[in-house]
Amino acid sequence: MAKAGAQLTRQGWLGRVRSAQRPLALAASLVVSALAIVSGIDRETRARPDLAASLPLQFGPNAQAALAHGRLAENDFGAARGHAEAAVLSAPIEPDSTALLGAARAGSGDLAGAERAFLVAGRLGWRTPITQFYWMQGALDVGDERVAALRLDAILRADPALVGNRNLLAPLEASEAGREALSVQLRAAPDWLERYGGDVDALTLPEAAIRADVLGRLARSGHPLGCVAAGPLTRRLVYLGDIALGNDFWRRHCPGRSGSLIADRTFGDLQVNQPASPFDWTVIGDSDVSVTVDPAGAGQQRLLLASSASFPRKILMQLIVPPPGNYRLSWSATVAGGAPRDRIVATVSCRPDAQDWLTPALDPASKRYFVDLSVDASCTGRWIGFGLLPGNDAVSFGSVDFRPR
């Protein structure tokens, strides 16, 4: 690691941090998660640096470390350095104070002194996030994405919530080599993997696409997330408008859904409550409609449907991504005794709320209902929806198919 540190430049470690809105605010904030060793009043000054000003020096190094932390957040590197030096003198083997000293030296332009401090901090203990961050940036400066990913992994294992800090992740995610190195660390399924795949509601489309790339590499290496864990990022991509990428990501991480244009044709994995993604079946709740899951054996299920409404009610929908062409959508709908019943209608549209129902025909040979349709390039995704017409008898519905004709 000394080799990486020796080649740091002001535009390197400190320059990367200065690109944030508040220079060194990231480094200072990372320290907070590491300061949980000391007890009593002195520990409280860690969380509230303003308390430290009223404490005498004999309360120990944490009061000075807290003041150093506060000055770093304010970009007052000279004052931060003085407080950090006092903290180190009070407790020379305490790694957090030495890391603060390194950050203060870097902020004031003393990169050689910063390196010396972080070398000591590293020998004292690698659990301090700011130390890991320093060496992560050093590794990036010399093009060693593998080591940078190791350092980032250590930071996130200590505090998985830091996955939400874009300034921390962006330097490694920015390059092809960095994304590959990050995906390699994720193969060990660290605690922060769940947050990396799930804490996505604040991501922009470019950020979500980068995350899909990293996790796509993970899937291609034989480590798919699974349908439920892949759901949040899939939903985010669809919400942001990239339906094609969402579909690709979903199918890579949910391989059981990738055998046909329609996922879960026989409802074997259907969840009446919230589905994992829009590429699964969504059951639409309605007080006038009863939907009961009826096991059909061999991993299949059918839906037993009844309605008291006087007009068609949408009961089910799924988002698919078919290429332009001619298709046949078909399904089975029967009543007690197995006779076909024509109370199920369908819609295939660019809009999820569409109710332009298509009237099906019955294939006398297969006893299946079907509609033939053409798909153009006007939209990437098509919402398949099914509705139930008024009637007194319960309908058994299942075995949906959508294929070229």
Token pair 């053409």 is at which residue? 374
pLDDT value at position 350? 95
pLDDT-derived band at 6 (thresholds 50, 70, 90) equals: very low
Fold of the 2-207 domain: 1.25.40
- 9 and 116 in contact (C-beta within 8 Å)? no
Closest CA to 182 of 169, 191, 195: 169
Which has the minimum average pLDDT: 81-85, 104-108, 356-360?
104-108
Same fold, 2-207 and 282-404: no
| E strand spans, 48-150 | none
pLDDT-derived band at 2 (thresholds 50, 70, 90) equals: very low
- List Cβ neighbours of 68 (8 Å cut-off, separation of 6 or more): 80, 81, 83, 84, 87, 97, 100, 101, 104
Bridge partners of 290, per DSSP, are 306
Q: pTM of the prediction?
A: 0.79
Cα–Cα distance measured from residue 239 to residue 79, given in angstroms and rounded to the nearest whole number: 47
Percentage, residues of the chain above pLDDT 70: 84
CATH of domain 282-404: 2.60.120.260
Listed by start position, the domains of the chain span 2-207, 282-404
